[in-house]
Structure 1
Amino acid sequence: MNQNLFASFNVPMMLGIPLVTLVILFPTMLITPSNKLISNRLSSLQQWLIKLTLKQMMITHSTKGRTWSLMLLALITFITLNNLLGLTPYAFTPTTQLSMNLGMAIPLWAATVLTGLRFKTKASLAHFLPQGTPIPLIPMLIIIETISLFIQPIALAVRLTANITAGHLLMHLLGDTALTLSSIYLSSSVITVIIIVLLITLELGVALIQAYVFTLLVSLYLHNNS
């Protein structure tokens, strides 16, 4: 049965009802805190990773900016779990949906901008016009800086969507190629399967890195406005 190349990115439905909310919440339910996990190796590893991640993101922040640490930690955990969900068989990857990524990026970006306008009004407005700008270039630079500001959430969402989608499409294409070659040249099929395994390993790294990059950029926007 031939299937559309992008069929795996369709939102799953049951009785005509989208199941995307349940899919998004499913990875989170797997790590629900439990008293049984206290003081074991898994919880120690989890705490070490949390401290390492927060140290990298919060090292340049002021005391006021560090109040966002819990939210940023929840964000990177949420994106990582949803990215990894798509690497399991017969799974749906929520972060391949641009609408979902925009739904995360726009409120977070807007919150950082409003925080800057409230607590650092002069410094935030000064970003629109660098010091020493020639008078004839002032209108053009203000327009350019305004456009670049509003592009930030779009860039956040598109970067995450494109990187996750590209890897899944490549694995899909290589998987179809391996199935086709298995009935023609077995040796070529084995080589393709090895490439797929290596690609899956790469995608594991991409899933983690993209979650970190998304959260780090939000952290940088916060740093510039807090």
Structure 2
Amino acid sequence: MPRKNYICNPKPVFNPPKNGKKRSNFICYAMKKALEIDVARSTLNKTLLAIDPKTGNILPRFRRLNEHRACAMRAIVLAMLYYYNINSRLVEASVEKLSDECGLSTFSKSGNKSITRTSRLISKFLEPMGFVICKRKKTESNSNYVPKKIFLTPNFFMLLHISQSQIKQYFLKQKKILNILKIEKKGGAFFDMKNISQLDEKFARRKILNALINHYTADELAIIGPQGLKKKIDIEYGKLCKLYKKKY
């Protein structure tokens, strides 16, 4: 096979599932940054030392990104972000799923699937460079170790020019949102509103109204009155809109 044709799908692209749930504001922001910045040509790829994840030693001979692996990295970074859980720092997708949705999986003439292109990118580049940490599990059939869990590191977000302080700010913002969205009722129950961006104004206001009605007694509602109740709804709804209109 000619050298220029030795790679199947030389221009892989991440295609998220059509019925996938809405991602958080932070993930949308990070994915937007990944599209704007060429992560495969980041200066980090040249300046960071490659470390053997098994021994912790510096790898004196280390293969940098050629164009085909660079294309694969651009797609995989988006896929990892899409499935990233910011609380656990875990990529909630298998290597096979990442490979399939980036168009990096290949099939032999006999129909056997190979995800080697993706697994090698992870184990031979992303992991030694410190962009991800992999936890492996020994297979029962042989002595090979396969990545079972992938965690994104601060270095990964440095590729996107996202600092740890920005991530902490996101957590603080989420905490503020939860304080607004959760109105404590008597008995220790909570009201949780869905992401305001997914709700129309009438539905959101009705949800807030129901929460307030459940929160106060009949006597307290009588004292507050219709105008006072409307004012409380306006205040809570305004806080929600203000928080979600802020660009991360």
State TM-score, norm by structure 1: 0.31
Of the two structures, which has the highest relative contact order with CA contacts closer than 8 Å and spacing of 6 or more? Answer: 1
Which protein has the bigger helix share? 1
Q: Could you say which structure has the larger radius of gyration?
A: 2
